[in-house]
């Protein structure tokens, strides 16, 4: 059996287990298992099905031998902000309610009456998204105070999956920062903020950074799998792992393009200036305490919902191809309006927006898809201008990573609309960053710079430059 490090990357639309190992100085990947992820309705809330997700993780681990691997280590990363609470017997007190659930409507506005936006931002550096953990917990404090009182453990989604594997309970740093409850300077829970909101401080676990060794598998799982492995902490916020895999950051803005589009840069310090607050940028914790200065843009969630509205009749590749044929259709929407966060019917919501703004209403799948891709590219372009205004410099390259790097039309639109070089890939950046972090922890790679050099040498990127010679052309 060959040894490997196993990345479990679970995004909002899909999960995958990928084996990573070094061969001939390059990082090699073998996909072991892939599965869908989706929001379900449970007890009148939108939730994640953690039971199914853990079964998929175990199914993937069982399949390693079939691919000739016995993993030496495993690391889990998922989407941000969501969590579960456990009681004194480590039983689940709550469902894993999803960030798209409307329960947080109005909660952010109530919290900033208690703690000002400026104080929250200056201390945590985290963007104001209505679904941040702080607002989810405030909802529970107001509406289910008995749950907050009974809670002995607060575990974010990857923390809980790690607990199921090892029996150990910790909060991993990069994902903990997305709660908007971690102080960007102390790198620890902001206990003054927790007190101001009346939240139960005792339920929060010790924060541990990436490269921590959580432990080994529970005995019953060793018996089930027939082998043990080290459970390591990569950046368990998926975007934190993805940014590890961006090969060159010097002159680059990344777009982690999946269900969400996370667009930003990497720093060694948080940027909490007023302009960053006004433009709603965030300073999420990164590998080795770097900061991911980025903004959430609605992302390919919109085309996922369009695809679902068409009963999955079209693949993502077909929707991009159909959009590419609609060259004259140019209606655009503001993708970042809350109305697109979880509409009942995405296509109808897009059509309503175009009617209300007196634009041509998209009717064909190609027109709907082109409207989404054009509008995303416009939103990316605005965010890039805001980043360059805050950094007071220009960036030469945009590196699109994640599943969206496969969308050639969108990559070209980004190049055309920004007049910058676009490098697309690696598609599985999140898993690659997760694996690289594990290999650094195991001493198989010396450090982050060496990892990024190896990633650059191991994975080809597709490059796009502007085809638009429309001098002085200004996009709406």
Ligand X SMILES: Nc1ncnc2c1ncn2[C@@H]1O[C@H](COP(=O)(O)OP(=O)(O)O)[C@@H](O)[C@H]1O
Binding site for ligand LHFEOU2G (CB under 6 A): 11-12, 79-81, 99, 238-239, 258-260, 262, 296
CB 165 within 8 A of CB 74: yes
Q: Which of 20, 71, 235, 258 binds Mg ion (CB under 5 A)?
A: 258
Distance CA 9, CA 76 (A): 6
Q: Which of 5, 7, 8, 11 binds Mg ion (CB under 5 A)?
A: 11
Q: Binding site annotation covers 259?
A: yes
Our CB check for ligand LHFEOU2G shows the closer of 120 and 221 to be 120
Token pair of 368 as six digits = 């709907």
Given ligand LHFEOU2G, ligand X, Mg ion, none, residue 304, with its beta carbon under 5 to 8 Å by kind, binds ligand X
Binding site for ligand X (CB under 6 A): 11-14, 258-259, 300, 303-304, 316-317, 320, 402-404, 406-407
CB 239 within 8 A of CB 256: yes
Given Mg ion, ligand X, ligand LHFEOU2G, none, residue 303, with its beta carbon under 5 to 8 Å by kind, binds ligand X
Token pair of 423 as six digits = 């490098």
Token pair of 168 as six digits = 């150990």
Q: Binding site annotation covers 96?
A: no
Helix (H) or strand (E) holding 64: none
Token pair of 21 as six digits = 């190992």
Q: Binding site annotation covers 296?
A: yes
Our CB check for ligand X shows the closer of 213 and 317 to be 317
CB 272 within 8 A of CB 184: yes
Our CB check for ligand X shows the closer of 178 and 200 to be 178
Our CB check for Mg ion shows the closer of 107 and 432 to be 432
Given ligand X, Mg ion, ligand LHFEOU2G, none, residue 296, with its beta carbon under 5 to 8 Å by kind, binds ligand LHFEOU2G
Supply the minimum distance, in Å, between the C-beta of residue 115 and ligand LHFEOU2G.
Answer: 21
Distance CA 465, CA 202 (A): 52
Please tell me which residue in 77, 101, 238, 374 is annotated as part of the active site: 238
**Cα dihedral: 327, 333, 339, 345 (round 10):** -20
Our CB check for ligand X shows the closer of 125 and 362 to be 362
Contact between 299 and Mg ion per CB under 5 A: no
How many CB atoms neighbour CB 76 within 10 A? 31
Query: Scanning the structure block, which residue is given the tokens 């339920």?
Result: 203
Q: Which residue of this chain has its Cβ atom nearest to Mg ion in the complex? A: 11
CB 228 within 8 A of CB 165: no
Q: Binding site annotation covers 15?
A: yes
Asked about 9 being catalytic, the answer comes back as no
Supply the minimum distance, in Å, between the C-beta of residue 425 and ligand LHFEOU2G.
Answer: 16
Q: Binding site annotation covers 13?
A: yes
Alpha helices, DSSP H, located in 197-325: 219-225, 238-244, 274-278, 301-309, 316-324
List the end-to-end C-alpha distance of the chain, in Å, as a whole number: 57
Where b means 16+ CB within 10 Å and e means fewer, 237-276 reads bbbbbbbbbbbebeebbbbbbbbbbbbbbbeeebbbeeeb
Q: Which residues are known catalytic residues?
A: 238
Q: List interacting residues with Mg ion (CB under 5 A).
A: 11, 238, 258
Binding residues for substrate: 80, 237-239, 296
């Amino acid at each position: 059996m060959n040894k490997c490090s196993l990345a479990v990357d679970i995004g909002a639309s899909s999960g995958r287990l990928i084996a990573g190992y070094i061969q001939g100085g390059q990082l090699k990947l073998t996909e072991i298992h892939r599965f869908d992820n989706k929001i379900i309705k449970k007890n009148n809330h939108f939730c994640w099905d953690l039971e199914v997700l853990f079964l998929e993780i175990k199914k993937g681990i069982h399949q390693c031998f079939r691919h000739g691997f016995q993993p030496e280590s495993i690391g889990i990363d998922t989407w941000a902000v969501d969590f579960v609470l456990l009681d004194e017997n480590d039983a689940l007190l709550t469902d894993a309610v999803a960030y798209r659930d409307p329960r947080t409507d109005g909660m952010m506005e109530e919290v900033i009456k208690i703690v000002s936006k400026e104080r929250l931002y200056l201390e945590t550096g985290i963007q104001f998204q209505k679904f941040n953990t702080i607002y989810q917990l405030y909802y529970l404090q107001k509406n289910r105070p008995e749950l907050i009182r009974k809670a002995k453990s607060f575990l974010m989604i990857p923390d809980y999956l790690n607990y199921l594997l090892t029996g150990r309970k910790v909060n991993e740093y990069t994902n903990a920062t997305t709660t908007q409850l971690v102080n960007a300077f102390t790198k620890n829970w902001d206990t003054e903020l927790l007190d101001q909101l009346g939240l139960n401080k005792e339920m929060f676990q010790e924060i541990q950074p990436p490269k921590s060794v959580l432990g080994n598998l529970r005995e019953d799982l060793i018996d089930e799998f027939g082998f043990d492995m080290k459970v390591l902490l990569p950046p368990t916020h998926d975007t934190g792992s993805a940014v590890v895999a961006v090969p060159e950051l010097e002159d680059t803005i990344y777009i982690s393009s999946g269900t969400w589009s996370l667009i930003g840069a990497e720093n060694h310090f948080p940027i909490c200036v007023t302009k960053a607050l006004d433009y709603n940028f965030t300073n999420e914790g990164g590998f080795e305490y770097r900061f991911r200065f980025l903004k959430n843009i609605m992302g390919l969630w919109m085309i996922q919902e369009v695809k679902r509205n068409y009963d999955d009749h079209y693949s993502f590749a077909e929707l991009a191809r159909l959009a590419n044929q609609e060259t004259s259709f140019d209606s655009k929407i503001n993708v970042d309006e809350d109305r697109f966060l979880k509409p009942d019917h995405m296509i109808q919501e897009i059509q309503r927006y175009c009617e209300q703004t007196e634009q041509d209403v998209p009717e064909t799948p190609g027109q709907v898809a082109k409207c989404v891709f054009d509008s995303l590219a416009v939103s990316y372009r605005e965010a890039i201008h805001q980043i360059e205004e805050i950094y007071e410099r220009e960036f030469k390259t945009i590196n699109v990573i994640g599943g969206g790097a496969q969308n050639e039309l969108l990559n070209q639109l980004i190049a055309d609309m920004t007049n910058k070089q676009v490098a697309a890939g690696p598609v599985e950046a999140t898993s690659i960053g997760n694996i690289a972090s594990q290999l650094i922890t195991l001493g198989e790679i010396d450090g982050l710079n060496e990892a990024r050099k190896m990633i650059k040498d191991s994975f080809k990127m597709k490059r796009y430059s502007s085809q638009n010679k429309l001098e002085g052309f200004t996009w709406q």
